[in-house]
Structure 1
Amino acid sequence: MADKLMNAITKLYERSFMRVLRRTVVMLFPFALLGSLAAVMATSVLAPIGFANRVFAINEWLPFATKIRTACLDLSQITLGFISVLAAFQAARYTTKLYQHDSQMAGLTALVGYLLVCYRSTSQRGIGFDWQLLGIQGLLLGLLFGYLIGQIFRRVGGSNAQSAEKTADIFDRAFNALPAIGIVIVIGLLLNYALTILNRYSVLAEIITRVSNFGVQQHAVVSTIMIGTLTTLMGWLGISGPYANFDFNADPSAIANLNQALTKHSVWDLPNKYTVTTLFHSFGSFGGLGSTLALLIAILIVAQHQHVLRVARWSLVPVIFNNNASMLLGIPLLLNPLYLIPFVVTPIINMLVAAVAIYLRWMPPVAYPVPLGTPGMLVAFIGTGGQFSALMVGLICLVIDVFVYLPFVRWSEIIVESQKKAGEANVEN
């Protein structure tokens, strides 16, 4: 069964879209890493309500702390905030390269076309964009758009040249690309219009709100796990899910639990035990969506290939602080069929273990808000007012998650090795 699964995944990796996707996201890894580190510095380390700042009072002794935080926020916005645009650019380039067409013109056209998709007119006649589509939440759309543009250039792009030394040759390539550019502009305008209509009537926002409210209002294990699983799956797809940006202050059940804890001076016997805060954010996202911290540990234990090990080592700090963008792109996890099962299953296991522990009164539910950027393993511990039982349940969940990820990391090593041998054989032939 395992051999059949690996053979199926290996064949899937050879599909043109998967080849383009893997090459594109790996190329974007340095930007994701820098953006993740900058985001951790801005939120956990230097923010007034950040975790590290609360523990070490960094803003009180670090010179120019506010200016450094502003610079980190800017760096994070420029890297992670525009990563979907870069994805569209690179995906178009790699797609046309596969078919030996003009990758440079395709990349530039995809970049302009995707900006056109994300453009939104403002009342002040200024330039505005849908920033969610530009950032990592729009990564899937950027990849698909770039791949589509690459296919258009494959068929309509004209020139097959990859480089040109003379100005006249460059002009010919640009002129031959005009039909493809015109098609891309039309597609960009149509997508822009469709997304503008959806935003005007809040269609997508209403759907997400209704789905997330369903989980919040039920206060039940099944509904919370269902919406949490949907959020995790959408994260694997490169889309923002219902619980992705659902914080403590937006959760009415969390506020009710907090008021009860403050009134009774106890975190036990809270009215809402199984919620997005007590289960999903406290146990279902260690190191980010998909319990990425467990994957990182599993890689450090069994991985042999330097590429994977370097990604894990460099991603250690942001993943500890729940930012897994570098792992999503560097491994890559995004749309990776091999890691789909553990990525989705580990949060479910964690939430079930936490729910059982709360039901059996081995630990209380999370009642208190935690500082920004709190490491995932400490969220439940701090949120319960320092209950060591919550920390122990979190450790148990992490150990289980690591064991779930270990065989998939080993299979990934086997697939990489087989691909390497196949590549060497092709070179020899």
Structure 2
Amino acid sequence: MFPVHASVVPSQLQGRAARIAQDWLRSGRLSRDALSHVLPDLHVKVRSDPYFMYTAAGSRGAQLLPDAAGGREELRQMRARDFFEQAERAAPPYLYYTSPLQVLGDDVLSRAPSWEQLALTSAKKQSVQGAIWAQLWACSGGGTTQAHYDVADNTFVQLEGVKDFYLFPPSAADALHVFPDSHPRARKAQLNVEAPDMQLHPLAASLPTARKVTLHPGEVLFIPAFWFHHVVSRSPTISINVFSQSAVPLAAASLLAQPLPIPAQWPVDLKRRALTHLLDEILNSAPVDLVAAGSARELADRLLQSRFAPLRQSGEISSEAAEPKVEVRRRRKELAEPPSWDDVAALISGYVEDCVFALRRLRQEVDDAGSADSAAERQDYYEGVCALLLCHLAEMHALRLYGDFGALHCSSERNLDFGVDTGRG
């Protein structure tokens, strides 16, 4: 299978991808009227405001941070015809539906022939191309999906209506104030890019100008993994996209799959020293020295300012409320005889070597995927993806070792701290 496109930069697609989209459009088998007769009853999201956002509750285990917007969305079961009729009416309410195409039945799937050919896989990487899947989307006019990134390449086909895409590179994550990984809306921006609150989200001042793409019926947009996209339906819309786990996101996943060599049963001071040393070693390694030059402390400060501080300021999280939980977690049974620092450093050294190898592999996959892009575009993409991964790595390990990263480290009296001496006795 040859890719319909290969790049680390979003673009509208022509050629084979456009021909597939035009064939779907001409067939009429994916129109609103046609789908009304073949779709099963739908579970539809309904809101009084236009902002929809996928949440991971139920799939990520116990959530450590609350979701202040969780009660604003209603889930209704509707017949497909009723959904499409109501979606045509002026909002509010705003209606939003999505489902993997494969679960809607063979009749629906057969209406999108050749959808697998829209997967952004490379012939060179067929053996590790990973999963591909198609998704159906339908929405009221005005419905908006707030800026977020996916960990798969995305080929997006517009079937009915018009959508505006506002695209930001992975390096814009801090300016977008991404939700923490411990939040149900992880990978999504706290910032509303159409109406930014600069007081709550001060880093938005450095947000680059969005690449805006307006997609009409029969047009196709490619969005590489890790690119942020804020999507607005300018009219009632129907779309299908194909996600593909191509080589770049698979290489990124290999970094996060490395087992942490720091047991949770170690004494707290030793865990903090070990995690600080581990992150410093990764940050100072050759593959990422251009990405996050500095220390674990600087990475921690960036996480605090971009991800946690706005949630604390808005009252969505409170460190005081979580203190008893934190203290209980920190009293877990510790090892009777902790290892020496030399033994700890040796364990960390092996872990860092594996991480550096994964980052070098990521560098190669980015260069391969972006072979038609400029060196500057590949470098910016690589640095942005590395920064996202390192923030995820830091938060993931802190959560595992301390139990409640956000509540423990987000009060104004504390610095988010991986064990660096802050001068406190």
Q: Give the structure-1-normalised TM-score.
A: 0.24
Greater relative contact order structure (CA < 8 Å, 6+ sep): 2
Higher strand residue share: 2
Greater helix proportion: 1
